[in-house]
């Protein structure tokens, strides 16, 4: 392949897909592709998909249909589908949408260069295997020369928990942890390119147990402590976690590792033990509450985030009330709630659904409580001084926006030169989804 071609990547879903999209773009960069911001005029379009939400596959087919005029205008345009919908649907994608040239699962995108060679021969390419080789070890070594101040770094993939509502074990496979020395090298590379904050990613990130350079096995806390030794790396976060894998040393790290930010996303999903058992969560509501107490004992200012599913099969009004009670007891700075939607192939999909109107009502009531707690958390920030890592200009001229240590979006009046800098800010106003402040010093 000669000359520079244009690549458009659209990413759906979680932060891990964002990371995967970056790596796929780099792999295709070695094939002569340059990433662009619009599908119009692109030589290749790649959809990196998510299979978590309801009707995910249908949304992908709908999106593909929008590209038909682009293919008609450019018969040489290549179209690919990657990610979890690709893994779940496989050949069905090409059958239903013949203009798709390439289908690649989330565990095989390191094979993109050879798949592109097949496209160059006029063939179609499909790879949704779960290979034994480490895909990260086979990706191109060349990296982009410059980055923004924040970055994602996948340290663990897959999940062995098999929650009855979740497709991740089937689309991402079993839990696999990357070797610690490779992660440390990649983190240093990111810092050299301007990154000051790294978020460690995994479907179940606190289940990380990777091979250490000392020949032993490192848990997530050990990895965080070693990354904290990297000069120029000022902030570390991790997501998403499972309550059953919050080990003692990771809890301790929240209290004694200064670079580990006081923000934790720790989903519980429900407050009813009956529902938790039906979800195969393998913990009780009381165990979750006691765990939060332990973490807050070492980090009292922790900003806690969570996930909730309402209308799970078999959920009664009493069960739902238990979820409201748990939210009241714990107190969340942020939380995300969803109405249950059946995912084909999961155990819960075979069970009778809760009445849709009842599920909708419960979702609205839960979201009202979560919004109340979130607003109270943000209002309590007014008058406090926080450290903000500035990322980009705001919507208004002369405005900059960044994230506090608690992951709140913070706006200030300041020059664009603040991008990539960490500065003290006094919070002066709480807005619905952000905070406003003034620079100190």
As a whole-number percent, the residues of the chain with pLDDT over 70 amount to 94
> Which contacts of 71-76 are long-range, i.e. CB under 8 A and separated by 24 or more positions?
71/99, 74/43, 76/43
Q: Which of 273, 271, 264, 319 is nearest to 292 (CA)?
A: 264
Is the pLDDT assigned to residue 318 strictly greater than 70? Answer: yes
Length of the chain in residues, anyone?
441
Q: What is the pLDDT of residue 399?
A: 94
H helix intervals, 177-316: 180-192, 220-227, 248-256, 273-278, 285-298
Secondary structure (3-state) at 41: coil
Place of tokens 């592709």: 33
Comparison of pLDDT for 277 and 395, the residue scoring more: 277
Mean pLDDT of the 420-427 span: 97
Q: What is the pLDDT of residue 139?
A: 59
CATH 2.40.50.140 residue ranges in the chain?
A: 385-439
Which residues are bridge partners to 231 per DSSP? none
Q: Which of 382, 390, 375, 396 is nearest to 429 (CA)?
A: 382
CATH class given for the domain over 385-439? mainly beta
Helix axes 317-330, 356-379, angle to 10 degrees: 10
Q: What is the pLDDT of residue 140?
A: 58
Is the pLDDT assigned to residue 1 strictly greater than 60? Answer: no
Q: What is the pLDDT of residue 132?
A: 56
Residue list, annotated binding site for [4Fe-4S] cluster: 14, 50, 84, 159, 163, 166
Residue list, annotated binding site: 14, 50, 84, 159, 163, 166
CATH assignment of 5-127, among 3.40.50.720, 3.40.50.1000, 3.40.50.12160, 3.40.50.970: 3.40.50.12160
Is the pLDDT assigned to residue 62 strictly greater than 80? Answer: yes
CATH 3.80.30.20 residue ranges in the chain?
A: 135-379
Q: pLDDT tens for residues 82-129?
A: 988 888 888 889 989 999 999 998 878 888 888 888 888 888 989 887
The mean pLDDT value of the chain amounts to 91
Using only C-alpha atoms, the chain has a radius of gyration, in whole angstroms, of 23
CATH assignment of 135-379, among 3.40.50.10190, 3.80.30.20, 3.40.630.40, 3.40.50.150: 3.80.30.20
Q: pLDDT tens for residues 178-211?
A: 999 999 999 999 999 999 999 999 999 999 999 9
Comparison of pLDDT for 7 and 134, the residue scoring more: 7
Residue 203 near residue 156 (C-beta atoms within 8 A):
yes
Q: pLDDT tens for residues 48-58?
A: 988 766 677 78
Q: What is the pLDDT of residue 18?
A: 87
Is the pLDDT assigned to residue 343 strictly greater than 90? Answer: no
Q: What is the pLDDT of residue 26?
A: 83
């Amino acid at each position: 392949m000669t000359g520079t071609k244009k690549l458009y990547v659209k990413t759906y879903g979680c932060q891990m897909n964002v990371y995967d999209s970056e790596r796929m773009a780099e792999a295709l960069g070695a094939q002569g592709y340059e990433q662009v911001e619009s599908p119009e005029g692109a030589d290749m379009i790649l959809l990196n998909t998510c299979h978590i939400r309801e009707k995910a596959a249908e949304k992908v087919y709908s999106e593909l249909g929008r590209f038909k005029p682009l293919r008609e205008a450019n018969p040489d345009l290549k179209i690919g589908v990657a990610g979890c919908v690709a893994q779940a649907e496989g050949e069905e994608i090409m059958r239903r949408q013949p203009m798709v040239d390439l289908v690649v699962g989330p565990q095989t995108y390191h094979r993109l260069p050879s798949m592109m060679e097949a496209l160059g021969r006029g063939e179609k390419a499909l790879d949704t295997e779960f290979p034994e080789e480490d895909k990260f070890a086979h990706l191109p070594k060349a990296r982009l020369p410059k980055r923004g101040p924040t970055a994602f770094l996948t340290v663990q993939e897959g999940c062995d928990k098999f929650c009855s509502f979740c497709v991740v074990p089937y689309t991402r496979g079993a839990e696999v942890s990357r070797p610690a020395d490779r992660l440390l090298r990649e983190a240093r590379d990111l810092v050299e390119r301007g990154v000051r904050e790294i978020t460690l990613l995994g479907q179940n990130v606190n289940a990380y147990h990777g091979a250490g350079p000392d020949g032993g096995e490192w848990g997530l806390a050990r990895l965080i402590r070693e990354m904290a030794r990297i000069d120029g790396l000022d902030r570390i976060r991790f997501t998403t976690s499972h309550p059953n894998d919050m080990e003692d040393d990771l809890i301790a790290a929240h209290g004694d590792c200064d670079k580990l930010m006081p923000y934790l996303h720790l989903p519980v999903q429900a407050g009813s033990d009956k529902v938790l058992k039906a979800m195969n969560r393998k913990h009780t509501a009381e165990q979750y509450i006691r765990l939060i107490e332990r973490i807050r004992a070492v980090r009292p200012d922790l900003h806690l985030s969570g996930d909730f599913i309402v209308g799970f099969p078999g959920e009664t009004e009493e069960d739902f009330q238990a979820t409201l009670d748990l939210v009241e007891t714990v107190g969340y700075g942020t939380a995300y709630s969803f109405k249950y939607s059946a995912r084909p192939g999961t155990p819960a999909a075979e069970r009778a659904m809760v009445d849709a109107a009842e599920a909708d009502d419960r979702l609205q009531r839960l979201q009202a409580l979560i919004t109340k707690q979130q607003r109270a958390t943000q209002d309590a920030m007014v008058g406090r001084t926080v450290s903000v890592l500035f990322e980009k200009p705001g919507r208004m001229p002369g405005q900059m926006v960044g994230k506090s240590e608690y992951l709140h979006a913070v706006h200030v009046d300041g020059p664009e030169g603040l991008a990539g800098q960490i500065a003290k800010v006094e919070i002066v106003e709480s807005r619905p989804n952000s905070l406003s402040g003034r620079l100190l010093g």
